[in-house]
Amino acid sequence: MSFLEKYNEGQTLLIDKDLEWTSFDVVKKIKFLIKCKKVGHAGTLDPLATGLLVLCTGKNTKKINDIQNQNKEYTGEFTLGKTTPSHDLETEFIESNDLDDVTEEKINDLRKNFIGEQFQRPPRFSAVKVKGKRAYQFARKNENIEIKEKKINIHEFKISEINLPNISFMISCTKGTYIRSIARDFGKALGCGAVLTKLRRTKIGEFDVKDAFKIDDFVNKINKEKIENS
């Protein structure tokens, strides 16, 4: 079996996605690089997020659902005092508030309220299906729709640094949790609003971004193997 045939047979690849790449961009790049018809990812990352993207090739694509259902871990940053329709930097700021009443004590006390099983409303700018369409299709036309809450579980929520207006965090959670919605709800509870300004996925189950290839490094690896095996 050639080194490229092993990918067609079935492999699981860990990629550290760069900023502004879509998950589909990464799949398309890898698919072309390894000449494999069956390549899929186990959980979308937004273009404004970086970090772990698990790709499966060949018969390993059967594992995608199992991988997607595992817990996720993220690090990132909320910026307090501002809001956007998408709850991140995909859309323009629509509100700005002062932080006079915000203290580190309030932030740390509030964090505890977000841990555990709860219902969360996905963002309007999301891929959640409503009436047979994606929610973002309605949002981009400024059409109001009701998005149902979904049950999630936040296992850990740690504040690693407070440098107002920015808060750095680590969150471990179940599948289907929107970190943008946590930013929205956290800012609302503080009374000042908040926007997700940085997001990095660090783990999916036992898969860790520390073991992942940057896309350029993976390209170089494959090209080197092509030369060695030619």
| 98 and 196 together in one domain | yes
194 lies in the same domain as 214: no
Cα 219 → chain centroid: 23
Does residue 80 sit in the same domain as residue 188?
yes
Do residues 91 and 169 both lie within one domain?
A: yes
Residues 191-219 have pLDDT tens digits of 999 999 999 999 999 999 999 999 999 99
Q: How far apart are CA 183 and CA 161, in angstroms?
A: 15
Over the stretch 14-59, which tens digit does the pLDDT of each residue have? Answer: 999 999 999 999 999 999 999 888 999 999 898 999 999 999 999 9
- Asked whether residue 186 falls in the same domain as residue 124, the answer is yes
Out of 16, 46, 88, 185, the active site residue is 46
Do 56 and 129 have their domain in common?
Answer: no
Q: 145 and 169: one domain?
A: yes
CATH number of the domain within which 169 lies? 3.30.2350.10
Q: Is residue 46 a contact partner of residue 200, using CB atoms and an 8 Å limit?
A: no
Side chain identity, residue 177: T
* Six token digits for residue 204: 């999916």
Digit-coded pLDDT (tens) for 47-62: 999 999 999 999 999 9
Of the candidates 111, 105, 138, 106, the residue with the CA atom closest to the CA atom of residue 123: 138
Residue 1, pLDDT score = 59
Helix (H) / strand (E) element for 78: namely strand 72-80
Judgement on whether residues 103 and 170 belong to the same structural domain of the protein: yes
Q: Residues 150-171: pLDDT tens digits?
A: 999 999 999 999 999 999 999 9
What's the total number of domains in the chain?
A: 2
Q: Which residue range(s) make up the domain with 54?
A: 5-69+206-228
The answer to whether residues 54 and 124 belong to one domain is: no
Query: pLDDT category, 6, cuts 50, 70, 90?
Result: confident
What average pLDDT does range 70-74 have in this prediction? 97
Q: How many CB atoms lie within 10 A of CB 55?
A: 25
Whether 88 is catalytic: no
Q: Verify that 184 and 212 share a domain, yes or no.
A: no
Residues 64-73 as b/e (b if ≥16 CB within 10 A, e otherwise) read: beebbebbbb
Whole-number pLDDT of residue 64: 96
- 130 plus 184 within the same structural domain: yes
The pLDDT value recorded for residue 8 is 85
**What is the C-alpha to C-alpha distance for residues 96 and 116, in angstroms, rounded to an integer?**
30
Contact call for residues 17 and 26 (beta carbons, < 8 A): yes
- Say yes or no: 80 and 97 in one domain: yes
